[in-house]
Structures are given as C-alpha cells and as structure tokens.
Chains A and B, each alone.
Chain A
Amino acid sequence: MIFEYFYLVFIAAIGVIQAAVAHNGLRGISFFNRKIYAYFFMLISLGPVITAFFTWNERNLTGVIEGSEQFYLFMLAIVSAIGFTIVLSSFLNHSRLRNNNIVCEGLEALKDVTFFQALRYKIIKRK
C-alpha cells in the first residue's frame, strides 16, 4: 500500500512537471522537443493515477496511510520525481542545448540549458 502510494505520486509528479515545463518553455528540463508530446505524456501518466486514487478504497478496503507517513511518502516521491526529471532531461538534452552564455538565474536559465550545464557554467564562471 505504501509502495503503491509512492509510485502513484511519483508518476503523477513526473507527468505534471513535464506539462508545466513545456508550457513555460523550460526546454532544459523537458523530455520532449514539442509541447504537444509533453501534454500527451501528462495525460497518459496522470489519467491512470487519478483513476487509481479515485478507486483507492475499493482496492484497499480499510487502507489508510497515517497523516505524517503520507507527508513523508509524498515528499519522497516528489523529490525522487524531480531528481529523475533533472537526470533524464539533462541526458536527453545534453547535445541539443549547448548555450555558453547564461544570462538568467533560477528556473528561467533552464530555458536554454540543462540543469547540469547551468551548474557547470556557474562553477566555471567562479574559477
């Protein structure tokens, strides 16, 4: 039950992150080069998760995850989903995005570079 909760939140989080980054043009952390693919990805990841949560009590008749446990599981799933997104998007976009001039800070910078490229440029700039 705990594992089920974890992976449902994990999948849903990856789906909504992809839709949000695509909508806001953050190409550096997107898995896809077209927005429409990201929206479709969100639909196919979020749809089953909503269905699974909706029918939770039909599968787990007395299935309750206690409040604090739910909080930790949720945070763990979200952090894992963000980590997974950063690693996979950096890998997928490594050769596509090669901008040597980062003018912005924060998430805005990820419109032109991947997360790891941004960190690397920051370290090089410091030296």
Chain B
Amino acid sequence: MITIDENIFLWINGLAGNVAFFDWLLKGIANDYLVIVGSCLVLLVLWIWGIDTRQRDRNQKAVISASLSLGLSQGFVSTLNAFYFRPRPFTELPTNLLFYQPTDSSFPSNSVAIVFAITFAIFLANRRIGGFLFILAFLHAFSRVYVGVHYPFDVLAGAAGGILIAFIATKTINVLEKWLDLVMVLARKLYIA
C-alpha cells in the first residue's frame, strides 16, 4: 500500500529528469556541504558583525545558540538512527535518482535537521539573516526529496526537530546568560569577541 508520504515523494521526485537546469541546480543544493558550510560561514560573519558592542553581543549570543543547536541536532539524529532505521526511497520505489546512494537511515534527514537548527537559532535573533537562511533551508529540504534520497516526511521531521532543538538551545542560553556573560567578558579581554 502506498502511503501519503510515498505519494508525495513520487510526485516531487517525478519532476526530476524533465528540465536539465533544475536537475543541475537542485543536485547542487542537495549535496551535504554547500548549504551547511554556507550557514556556518554566516555564523562566522555574525560573530564579527555589529555597528556597536551591544548589537555584536546579541549576534554573538545567537551564534553560540546556533552552534549549540547544531551539536544537539546531530545528537538527536544519531540517537533516533540508533533505534529506528528507515530504508531510503530509492530502495523501495521507482526513483529518478540524481544523487549517490546514501546507506544510513532515511528518517530523519540529518542535513535538514542541522540546517534548520542553525537557521531558527539565527532567526530568533536576526529576522533578516534568519529569513534568508530559511529560504536556503527550504530549498535544501525540497532538493533532498527531488533528487530521490529522502521521503517528504524525513525532511519534515528533520526540520521540526531542528527548529525544536534551536528553540530549546536558545532558551537554555537565555537561562545561562549570567554565566555566558562571564565567558564573553573573558573573550573580550582576549579581543576575540
């Protein structure tokens, strides 16, 4: 029996192979490095960015929160993978595969969880940059289904998990603000923050 998830997968993946330009574009966006490295480079820029100390301080706390979210989302996916394995769609359904064949669990999408965790943590502090990252994150999530390596539910779960983790990480950072301020004072004395 074909589930809704599989039906949506077949529809989205069915778009692949029709327009060479879209195949090329989404294959590039789907890879494991471009969007993740791009998002992390945005964190590096945000660490330096700020017209004054106050704005920079806010940005730097967002970077710390995003970095914590990144680590936690990686842990979240690894933990889930230890208990549950879902085969990749190309092993079960007729697929237009535009990508190499990953062997790890399809559920939840690791790269999507990481990208959404970083994006949401930044979005909570800086709507403009966060909004830009959200566009990249959505494109990345869509492309993973388009190229045939994830079911839609895998990327939805990854995105939801990443967002939830970023929310918790940001709240935790807010609770620990006093301690974090001490670390920031030390970092400022060393001219690295």
Contact = CB atoms under 8 A, between A and B. Distances in A.
A101 B49 CA distance: 24
Nearest to B55: A24
A106 B187 contact: yes
Nearest to A63: B100
B37 A53 contact: yes
Interface string B134-151: 000000000000000000
B31 A57 contact: yes
A60 to B, nearest CB: 9
Contacts of B18: none
A70 B40 CA distance: 12
Interface residues of A, number: 41
Given A54-B28, A57-B99, A74-B37, A105 B45 contact: no
Interface in A51-82: 53-57, 61-65, 67-68, 70-71, 74, 78
A101 to B, nearest CB: 16
A119 B51 contact: no
Contacts of B44: 13, 16-17, 20, 78
Given A74-B37, A107-B56, A115 B191 contact: yes
A21 B39 CA distance: 18
Contacts of A109: 191
A57 B27 contact: yes
Contacts of B36: 70
A35 B188 CA distance: 25
Contact of B100 (A20, A26, A55, A57): A57
Main secondary structure of the interface of A (DSSP, over half): helix
A55 to B, nearest CB: 7
Nearest to B102: A64
A1 B56 CA distance: 35
Contacts of B48: 17, 20-21, 24, 26, 107
Interface in B9-37: 27-29, 31-34, 36-37
A110 B102 CA distance: 46
19 contacts: A20-B48, A53-B31, A54-B28, A54-B31, A56-B34, A57-B31, A70-B32, A71-B74, A74-B37, A78-B44, A106-B56, A106-B188, A106-B189, A106-B193, A107-B188, A107-B192, A108-B53, A108-B56, A119-B190
Given A16-B44, A64-B100, A68-B74, 17 more contacts: A13-B41, A17-B45, A23-B49, A53-B31, A53-B33, A57-B99, A62-B101, A64-B102, A65-B32, A67-B110, A74-B40, A78-B44, A105-B189, A106-B187, A106-B188, A106-B192, A110-B191
Interface of A: 5, 8-9, 12-13, 16-17, 19-21, 23-24, 26, 50, 53-57, 61-65, 67-68, 70-71, 74, 78, 104-110, 115, 118-119, 122
